[in-house]
Amino acid sequence: MGATTDQDGMPSAAPTTTAGPATGRGVVTRFAPSPTGFLHLGGARTALFNWLFARHHGGTFLLRIEDTDRVRSTQPAIDAILAGMRWLGLDWDGDAVFQFARADRHAEVARAMIANGSAYKCYMTADEITAMRAAAEAAKKPLRIRSPWRDRTDGPADQPYVVRLRAPQEGAVTIDDQVQGSVTVQNAELDDLVLLRSDGTPTYMLAVVVDDHDMGVTHVIRGDDHLNNAFRQLPIYRAMGWPEPTYAHIPLIHGADGAKLSKRHGAVGIEAYRDELGILPEALDNYLLRLGWGHGDAEIIAREDAVRWFDLAAVGKSPSRFDLKKLEHLNGHYIREADDARLATLVADRLAGADVARLTAAMPALKPRAANLNELADGAHFLFATRPLPIDAAAEPLLAGNSPHILAAVHGALDALDGWDTDALEAAVRQVAEAEGVKLGQVAQPLRAALTGRKTSPGIFDVLALLGRQESLGRIADRMAA
């Protein structure tokens, strides 16, 4: 609805009004990151919630890059945001909108607001604002700009000015937030925010409202650090007579210690989880979904189920706590479920000179032990090592004492085999243990060290099968001499 005015065309005392759910329009959500940094966990979860809500309702999910901060916005950050969205499978409808390109439209709306009396030209100087701030600090009150130009139209034509919102001063506004519930703010707590700077460029508050309206956004789903902004933005909707969106402000993500998420907790760009930590996108999607939203006791949630089940009513009001160990545990599940050829391709990027076909064949043996792609690559390292194998310090004791004799016995037993399958290999090694009067582990441990150079590895019979007869016998022979 539009602004309420008195007989002089000035905004009158505002009653308590409520911003409720938008009706009569198909669902349209948006994700609007600022490219002053890369896509982080909180932003990725916001994007995911918006995507799921739109897809659940058969609606539209839009992407807007809020690049009006020309100093801090960078092309690498834009590229990283787009790449992160694609990696997470969060496809947007239509082309991405770049906010800076719409500056003329934002200014147009500001001029229209001046014309209808809901905004005004303010000629306050920096010194006057500084004095006003000092007075507020002395009175121990928050700064609320009430410009002397609010009710004047005789501004000097040769001086620069900003355009300010003529915010309502009386009454209150209540937002029926879909997550936070009913929230009320007194209009006296709001100030006459700047819509256009003195150089004619729009501020964030104006640009967001104009873009959301022009893009047909029906539901604004964002972090609860923007809740106060909603009360400052609603007067712009009402001044223009535009439909008001439904708001849903989701709690922020905290670290495991309950403090606001920071780099020390893992608040790094999404690309770090992909490239450095070896997390699969489906695992991160599932984990982010469960940070603040739930569906009964379900922990492993497929994408199609998430689309079918997602609603705002199940979003919690309390901050969620990020736990890297839980993410890696979930990632281990998705690694075990993933296609072997896909994993092999991903792992090959982490192993110089690795053969994808050989990695693919090894995946059934490697996957059960890995929580991330790095561990998969580490577990596959033995496949591509060259003789003589370097031996880790932890594995060296396994090759001492009677181990060369044991290895010689294993070499003879394996060399005599007609076939080279895991069943035949296991039978041969067990026979050696029985003949030597030792436990199977006392044979398997030096054998593992000789074959992989390490104390741990996939199952020893899988290792033998994957290496093949010639390579296995050669590596064993290298360690048979006392």
Burial string for 108-122 (b: 16+ CB within 10 Å, else e) reads ebbeebbeeebbbbb
Residue 352 is predicted with a pLDDT of: 86
- Give yes or no: residues 187 and 235 share one domain: yes
- Please name every residue paired with 293 in a beta bridge, in sequence order, or none if there are none: 315
Q: Is residue 373 part of a domain?
A: no
* Four-CA torsion 442, 467, 339, 345, nearest 10 degrees: 130
pLDDT greater at residue 259 or residue 31: 31
295 in the same domain as 341: yes
Q: Which residues, in sequence order, are bridge partners of residue 359?
A: none
Domain boundary among 322, 355, 388: 355
Q: Above pLDDT 90, what percent of the chain? A: 81
- 296 lies in the same domain as 207: no
Rounded Cα gap, residues 429 and 465, in angstroms: 13
pLDDT at residue 464, rounded to an integer: 97
- C-beta separation of 352 from 258 below 8 A: no
Is 384 a domain residue?
A: no
Say what the pLDDT of residue 175 is.
Answer: 97
On the question of pLDDT at 21 being above 60, the answer is no
Domain holding 291: CATH number?
1.10.1160.10
Q: What is the pTM of this model?
A: 0.89
386 assigned to some structural domain: no
The packing angle between helices 460-467 and 422-436, to 10°, is 120
pLDDT at position 143 is 81
Q: How far is CA 474 from CA 9, 384, 413, 449, 469, in A?
A: 94, 14, 14, 13, 8
Same domain, residue pair 202 and 300: no
Least confident of 167-171, 362-366, 406-410, 475-479: 167-171
Same domain, 204 and 277: no
- What is the count of structural domains for the chain? 3
The model's confidence at residue 367, banded by pLDDT at 50, 70 and 90, is very high
Choosing from 140, 141, 263, 325, the catalytic residue is 263
pLDDT at 41 over 90: yes
- Domain range for 329: 264-355
User: Is 317 assigned to a binding site?
Assistant: no
Average pLDDT over residues 224-249: 97
Paired residues of 119 in beta bridges? 165
Closest among 182, 141, 145, 188 to 165, alpha carbons compared = 145
260 belongs to the catalytic site: no
Summary mean pLDDT of the chain: 91
Instruction: Mark whether 58 and 198 lie in a shared domain.
Output: yes
86 plus 168 within the same structural domain: yes
Does residue 246 share a domain with residue 269?
Answer: no
pLDDT band of residue 5 (cuts 50, 70, 90) is very low
pLDDT tens by residue, 275-300? 999 999 999 999 999 999 999 999 99
pLDDT tens, residue by residue, 240-271? 999 999 999 999 999 877 777 766 655 578 99
Query: pLDDT-derived band of residue 353, with 50, 70 and 90 as boundaries?
Result: confident
Mean pLDDT of 2-22: 40
pLDDT (average), residues 197-225: 96
| 62-77: pLDDT as tens digits | 999 999 888 888 999 9
